[in-house]
Amino acid sequence: MASRTPLTVATAAMETPPVALVRRARAVNRALAEVYPDAHCELDYETPFQLLVATVLSAQCTDVRVNQVTPGLFAAFPDAPAMAGADRDRLEALIKPTGFYRAKAESLLGLSRDLVEHYGGEVPGKLKDLVTLRGVGRKTANVVLGNAFGVPGITVDTHMGRLARRLGLTVNEDPVVVERELMALIERREWTLWSHRVIFHGRRRCKARKPECGACEIAPMCASAPGAKVKPAS
């Protein structure tokens, strides 16, 4: 028998998640919607291409820093054809403040050339196409789809993974597995907003080193809160 890929395993494992877990996940989402009614993508962009580039730059970097860099970057290279022909040294100099600038420059040049060669210079609006671009994985693709194209998707970044485990919605570390598990818990129409709300909460309250459990608005629904009474996922 052929071995299952992680994606297949995750999908099969969460076909029928426990009803109590589904209810709690959706209750958390509703509570976060009240706490963060203005939750949104915090990267500045005007086009799908700009959002794609900004999301690549946001790896291991704050959105604030990316937003400081992208105005100059997009003034120099506003679209895929322009960036595909960019001078590498100039590109690296422009994005250097975001960190890992050599690897990021390689990704930006690669994805821009892929867009020009295969998609007429336009960002495709389907996951299966986005993930063929060099330097673009499911996380980046879901950010672009959800915010630039209105296609629901769950973005599993470091905040999402950390909070999903702390809340007891998953025990997994693999982002693809976590994504599929959360897709089975949250209504599809809510996937993108769920992502924004959780990321907002991770940045503002449930921080990596010092989560503010005593002031947390969703502590009663969290499996990691002091005195927790909810049952985590197994």
From the list 114, 129, 139, 207, the catalytic residue is 139
Q: Is 157 a catalytic residue?
A: yes
Torsion of CA 70, 74, 79, 84, to 10 degrees: -80
- The number of angstroms, rounded, from the C-alpha of 40 to the middle of its chain's C-alpha atoms is 12
Q: Under DSSP, is residue 156 helix (H, G, I), strand (E, B) or coil?
A: coil
Q: Under DSSP, is residue 81 helix (H, G, I), strand (E, B) or coil?
A: helix
Residues 151, 146: Cα–Cα separation, whole Å: 5
Residues 107, 97: Cα–Cα separation, whole Å: 16
From the list 157, 207, 229, 231, the catalytic residue is 157
Token representation of residue 229: 């009474």
Q: Tell the burial category of 230 from Cβ atoms under 10 Å away from its Cβ (0-12, 13-18, 19+).
A: middle
Token match 């789809």: residue?
A: 145
The distance between the two most distant Cα atoms of the chain, rounded to a whole number of Å, is 57
Catalytic residues: 139, 157
